[in-house]
């Protein structure tokens, strides 16, 4: 039985079991989950290692029926836990009780959507370990001051600690993708008051980064009001210099 890789589903199957083992070993159990949902198991390269982790029950969501047939044939113990649907459409809170971790060598065509879906379900998802195209992995885990730091970094890191774990070469896949890949782990921050209006925070972050070369007094002009003192040093900064906390402080300043 052979699954022919389909480009439109972002299918790049991992060939090297050591990498799969390292991804599985990066699951820490942080947040007391007992269930892992793997997105896009394909032919089960990573699934095999997740199934060895006795502390958790692994479920998988795979959109490709050919891969699902393969999994059913070669992983009989998984049969009851294969969801043959688009991960982005799954009502996670109806399907799973309790805390849930996400894992995967993800389909790169929906990387950002996966991360934003995790954010939408953050109460349920304490940890995610997974592989993205390297550029997205770097952005997700980027720190202030780095060129990878942007909207995704700030919005994700407002709720999760993100850590870049390791880079994976294109030749570790069949077929090789055009770009290198990066594995990251994110862990939900302990619950605490957000510290500013969340909707406005998102708007401020997006507006500032939409013109990332400009100083804030220019890029967020549309959000300023007469009470804001734009001579403060923060308004001469560019968005990539601001930490999550700086963006929260800025949001509060703009809400006065």
What's the min distance (Å) between Cβ of 37 and ligand SAH?
A: 10
Separation between Cα atoms, residue 229 and residue 227, nearest integer Å: 6
Backbone angles phi, psi at 255, to 5 degrees: -95, 0
- Out of 24, 37, 45, 205, the only residue in the binding site for ligand SAH (CB under 6 A) is 45
Q: Which is nearer to ligand SAH, 2 or 213 (CB)?
A: 2
In the DSSP assignment, the letter for residue 224 is -
Q: Which stretch binds ligand SAH (CB under 6 A): 26-34, 62-70, 164-172, 236-244?
A: 62-70
Q: Which helix (H) or strand (E) holds 132?
A: strand 127-133
Interface with ligand SAH (CB under 6 A), residue from 33, 50, 64, 182? 64
User: CA of 34: how far to CAs of 54, 87, 88, 179, 226, in Å?
Assistant: 10, 19, 22, 33, 51
- Calculate the CA dihedral of residues 68, 63, 134, 44 and round it to 10 degrees: -10
Cβ atoms < 10 Å from Cβ of 52: 11
Number of residues that bind ligand SAH (CB under 6 A): 23
Query: Binder to ligand SAH among 48, 63, 103, 186 (CB under 6 A)?
Result: 63
What would the x/- binding string for ligand SAH be over residues 108 to 147, using CB under 6 A?
--x-------------------------------------
Structure tokens at 84: 């043959």
Nearer to ligand SAH, 40 or 142 (CB): 40
Q: Which residues contact 107 (CB under 8 A, 6 or more apart)?
A: 9, 10, 11, 39, 40
As measured in angstroms, the least distance from the Cβ of 162 to ligand SAH is 21
x/- track of binding to ligand SAH for residues 67-106 (CB under 6 A): x------------------xxx----------------x-
Residue 182 binding ligand SAH, by CB under 6 A: no
Other beta carbons within 10 Å of 72 = 13
Residues that bind ligand SAH (CB under 6 A): 9-14, 39-42, 45-46, 61-64, 67, 86-88, 105, 107, 110
């Amino acid at each position: 039985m052979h699954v022919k890789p389909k480009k439109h589903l972002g299918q790049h199957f991992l060939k090297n079991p050591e990498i799969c083992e390292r991804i599985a070993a990066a699951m820490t159990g942080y947040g007391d989950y007992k269930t892992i949902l793997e997105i896009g198991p394909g032919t089960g390269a990573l699934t095999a290692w997740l199934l060895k982790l006795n502390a958790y029950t692994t479920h998988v969501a795979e959109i490709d029926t050919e891969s699902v047939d393969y999994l059913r044939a070669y992983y009989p113990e998984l049969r009851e836990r294969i969801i043959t649907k688009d991960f982005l459409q799954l009502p996670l809170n109806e399907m799973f009780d309790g805390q849930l971790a996400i894992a995967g060598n993800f389909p790169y065509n929906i990387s950002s959507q996966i991360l934003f879906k995790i954010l939408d379900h953050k109460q349920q998802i304490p940890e995610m370990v997974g592989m993205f195209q390297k550029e997205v992995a770097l952005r997700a885990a980027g720190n202030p001051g780095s060129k990878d730091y942007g909207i995704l970094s700030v919005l994700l890191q407002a709720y999760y600690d993100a850590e870049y774990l390791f880079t994976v070469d294109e030749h570790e896949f069949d077929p090789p993708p055009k770009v290198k890949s990066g594995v990251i782990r994110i862990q939900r921050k302990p619950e605490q008051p957000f510290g500013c209006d969340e909707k406005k925070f998102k708007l401020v972050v997006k507006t500032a980064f939409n013109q990332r070369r400009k100083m804030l007094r220019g890029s967020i002009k549309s959000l300023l009001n007469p009470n804001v003192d734009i001579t403060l040093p923060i308004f001469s900064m560019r968005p990539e210099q601001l930490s999550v906390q700086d963006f929260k402080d800025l949001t509060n300043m703009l809400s006065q």
